[in-house]
Amino acid sequence: MTSFRPDYVFHLAAQPLVRRSYEIPAETFEVNAVGTANLLEAINKLTGKCTAVVVTTDKVYENKEQHILYTEDDVLGGHDPYSASKACTEIVVNSFRNSFFNPKDFAKHHKAIASARAGNVIGGGDWSKDRIIPDIVRSLQEGSEIEVRNPAAVRPWQHVLEPLTGYLLLAGLLNDNAADFARAFNFGPYPEDHLTVKELVTKAIQTWGNGSWKDASNAGQPHEATLLQLDISLAVKQLQWKPKLTATNAVNWTIEWYKQPVKEQAAFTFKQIDNYLAL
């Protein structure tokens, strides 16, 4: 960090899987919370101006699993190790912001830091284990029935280009005005555009052209939240950011990517970026 002297830092590295966090809980906390602290300490050692956006998750909130749109000022929590580790990450960010990167003292340290809490991100290129879209695509490619663990669960699904655009926009505004933008922001779909897992799977099958699914709910499986919704009004109002794709379009764009031959996926990625920017 001190040799490269970055102007901007986007921190997206993490142990990002809920079910995996039950298998490696201590490592999950080490990577997500301590790893972020290490990065911010490195930024603190920089002598020049630096703007940082730390990406966490929509799961940082103390989720009551009720029909609540969580705002950036709601209580942090986390049932599983992944969610809790990301809530810890937010506490680490806030601590460094108050202790070393305080906007009131920007003229002295020239550092600005914000966090971004994104809803469930989908898009081409994701092959992670225990994620709904990769699981769907693997089953469709194999011609096997899709096993759905929590069909009634509600999530703030969004295409990956939505929050990425938000991160870039936030970084630019933060760089110009730390006092107004050095804080947390939610990125997700509009409140009326949250889909159940069942709806997402059904739309994915429709876009693929064939396939079927079955309810694979298991009372003995690790806990995963059944209802999570975000309030994005702060980002809409203060950043002038807004979702361009509906959840249905996000699913369509995602599945269309996986339908492409491997040798054409890179070109199709850039085509989707161009199409998104033209919206």
Chain segment 242-255, per-residue pLDDT in tens? 999 999 999 999 99
Q: How does residue 222 score in pLDDT terms, banded at 50, 70 and 90? A: confident
Q: How does residue 192 score in pLDDT terms, banded at 50, 70 and 90? A: very high
Predicted confidence (pLDDT) per residue in 52-68, tens digit: 999 999 999 998 888 88
Give the residue among 166, 132, 151 at the shortest CA–CA distance from 244: 166
The single-letter DSSP state of residue 236 is: I
Judge contact between 32 and 85, C-beta under 8 A: yes
Sequence-ordered list of residues with C-beta below 8 angstroms from that of 171, at least 6 positions apart, any chain: 8, 10, 51, 53, 114
Q: What is the model's pLDDT at position 220? A: 65
Sequence-ordered list of residues with C-beta below 8 angstroms from that of 29, at least 6 positions apart, any chain: 81, 84, 85, 88
Give the residue among 41, 59, 56, 53 at the shortest CA–CA distance from 90: 56
- Angle between helix 197-208 and 247-258 (nearest 10): 50
Q: How does residue 219 score in pLDDT terms, banded at 50, 70 and 90? A: low
Q: What is the model's pLDDT at position 223? A: 65
CA distances from 156 to 57, 77, 88, 200 (A): 11, 18, 22, 11
The single-letter DSSP state of residue 75 is: P
d(CA 193, CA 90): 26
Tell me what the pLDDT averaged over the chain comes to: 94
CA atoms within 13 A on the CB side of 270: 3
Judge contact between 178 and 109, C-beta under 8 A: no
Q: Is the pLDDT of residue 201 over 90?
A: yes
Give the residue among 14, 226, 25, 4 at the shortest CA–CA distance from 115: 14
Element (H, E) at 159: strand 158-159
Judge contact between 225 and 65, C-beta under 8 A: yes
Predicted confidence (pLDDT) per residue in 112-131, tens digit: 999 999 989 999 999 988 88
Q: How does residue 97 score in pLDDT terms, banded at 50, 70 and 90? A: very high
**pTM: predicted TM-score of the whole model, two decimal places:** 0.94
For domain 8-277, give its CATH number from 3.30.565.10, 2.70.150.10, 1.10.10.10, 3.90.25.10: 3.90.25.10
Sequence-ordered list of residues with C-beta below 8 angstroms from that of 211, at least 6 positions apart, any chain: 139, 140, 146, 204, 205
Q: How does residue 239 score in pLDDT terms, banded at 50, 70 and 90? A: very high
Q: What is the model's pLDDT at position 217? A: 80
